[in-house]
Amino acid sequence: MSTPVLQLQNASIFQRESLILSDVSLSINKGEFVYLIGKTGSGKSSFMKTLYGDLPLQQGQGTIVDYDLKTLKEKHIPFLRRKLGVVFQDFKLLNDRTVKENLKFVLKATGWKNQSEMDSKIDEVLDKVGMKTKGFKYPYQLSGGEQQRVAIARALLNDPELILADEPTGNLDPQTSVEVMGVLQEINKNGNTILMATHDYALLLKYPSKTLKCDGNKIFEVVQKTI
Ligand SMILES: Nc1ncnc2c1ncn2[C@@H]1O[C@H](COP(=O)(O)OP(=O)(O)OP(=O)(O)O)[C@@H](O)[C@H]1O
């Protein structure tokens, strides 16, 4: 049986009082890889922000990894984020510490205490993204693709039920984008559910998957031929 990790019914997404998307109804099941496409300004980032609690859901219904977005309070957000892995276009790594220290920082902030458990978790996630030998490096010593791999490793630390990736290849060249996409595909094959906003159509053609499109204040599923 399919288990939904995200469900929205008649949801409207606002930036302050401007309506960005209206009447969004969709669901994403455990194990799926789903693209979110749409032109610049069509509302992809606003949609993602609503899902990770950065924008309130003002109208309609929504549940994500068992949290009700409509009744989500400020104090619940850190707990919601622990069940989500969020990956951004600009990596958002801390430049004053090594890769391992970046990951340890997140583990400590999310309540981990045992040093050897933290070390083995860090090794595990770095291994998953092919960065096990680079844990001692500082982010500025890594290429963009390597930094994004580390950001994906960071998103995996708390075994998220859903990974939200907002333009994860937006700052990468085409070859590196394909490599990072390969990492996300591998993670999905191993059971992680992923929603990825992108306007990189080459990736969609290379790795076809369920696709949602933001257009004209709506989100709807499209089949690849009509993209
Ligand atoms: N902080 C904000 N305050 C007010 N309006 C905003 C804010 N951020 C975005 N918007 C508006 O919301 C609309 C949707 O923007 P959003 O960033 O969600 O689109 P997007 O599809 O992610 O675009 P891009 O691909 O360029 O990132 C745009 O009209 C934008 O001007």
CATH number at residue 16: 3.40.50.300
Rounded Cα gap, residues 219 and 64, in angstroms: 17
36 confidence band (pLDDT: 50, 70, 90): very high
Mean pLDDT of the region 117-140: 97
Cα 15 to middle of ligand 1, angstroms: 8
**ipTM score of the complex?**
0.92
In eight-state DSSP terms, residue 9 is E
Q: What's residue 1's pLDDT?
A: 66
Count Cβ atoms below 10 Å from residue 220 Cβ, excluding itself: 13
Atom of ligand 1 lying closest to residue 199 CA: 25
208 confidence band (pLDDT: 50, 70, 90): very high
Mean pLDDT of the region 59-70: 96
**Is the Cβ–Cβ distance between 67 and 80 less than 8 Å?**
yes
Is 141 in a helix, a strand, or coil? helix
What are the E-state strand segments in 54-125?
59-64, 67-68, 84-87
Is the pLDDT assigned to residue 225 strictly greater than 90? no
Is the pLDDT assigned to residue 2 strictly greater than 90? no
- Amino acid sitting at position 214: C
Cα 166 to middle of ligand 1, angstroms: 13
DSSP 3-state percent helix, strand, coil across the chain (nearest 5): 40, 25, 35
Is the pLDDT assigned to residue 198 strictly greater than 80? yes
What are the E-state strand segments in the chain?
4-15, 18-29, 33-37, 59-64, 67-68, 84-87, 162-166, 194-197, 210-215, 218-222
Cα 96 to middle of ligand 1, angstroms: 30
Question: Is the C-beta atom of 45 inside 6 A of ligand 1?
Answer: yes
Q: What integer best gives the mean pLDDT of the chain?
A: 95
Question: Is the C-beta atom of 44 inside 6 A of ligand 1?
Answer: yes
Is the pLDDT assigned to residue 137 strictly greater than 70? yes
Number of domains in the chain: 1
Percentage of the chain modeled with pLDDT above 70: 98
Q: Which domain holds residue 30?
A: 4-226
Is the pLDDT assigned to residue 224 strictly greater than 90? no
Question: Is the C-beta atom of 38 inside 6 A of ligand 1?
Answer: yes
- Amino acid sitting at position 6: L
Give helix 144-156 / helix 174-189 axis angle, nearest 10°: 20
Q: What's residue 226's pLDDT?
A: 52
